[in-house]
Copies of this chain bind each other. A is one copy, B any other.
Amino acid sequence: MTNRIHLITLGVRDMERSRAFYEAMGWERAPYDLDEVTFYQAGDQVLGLYLQDMLDHDTGLSGAKPGGITLAVNQTSREEVEAMLDKVVQAGGSVLAPPKDMPWGYVAYAADPDGHPWEFSHVPTLVPDENGALILPDTLGP
């Protein structure tokens, strides 16, 4: 289990407005046809925009302002997700949302001592490569 951040997710209130903003900033949207999420490759990492309501729901947080941000570490298996959560608790953090099967993968959220939300997940379409980098695939889906 390497220590790196694969995906930074910003909770946004208006997806179109946020896409327009980031694209005006020069970010190139990955060509996925999704309404509730938008991805941009950022070197070996991915920046995601996700509707704030959905982020609040998924993490169990609510009303985080300004905007929500989660830091994701993608694992190569479900077992690694569970191992990371155990490690969080042992380290003095807390589980925000225990591992759950979502349409895209097996996902858990945990908080560090200040409440910064981290996501630990196993997402079959978004598994880090042999170098630990998360490179967006050409298409998403099962």
Contact = CB atoms under 8 A, between A and B. Distances in A.
Interface in A44-83: 44-45, 47, 52, 61, 64-67, 69, 71
B65 A113 contact: no
A27 B3 contact: yes
Nearest 8 pairs of A and B residues by beta carbon = A66-B115, A24-B91, A67-B114, A4-B43, A4-B42, A67-B116, A69-B69, A3-B27
Contacts of A111: 66
B71 A20 contact: no
Nearest to A64: B66
Interface in A83-137: 87-88, 90-93, 111-117, 132-133
A24 to B, nearest CB: 4
B25 A3 contact: yes
A26 B21 CA distance: 36
A66 to B, nearest CB: 3
Contact of A65 (B44, B112, B115, B133): B115
B44 A44 contact: yes
Contacts of A43: 2, 4-5, 44-45, 132-133
A93 B26 contact: no
A67 B115 CA distance: 6
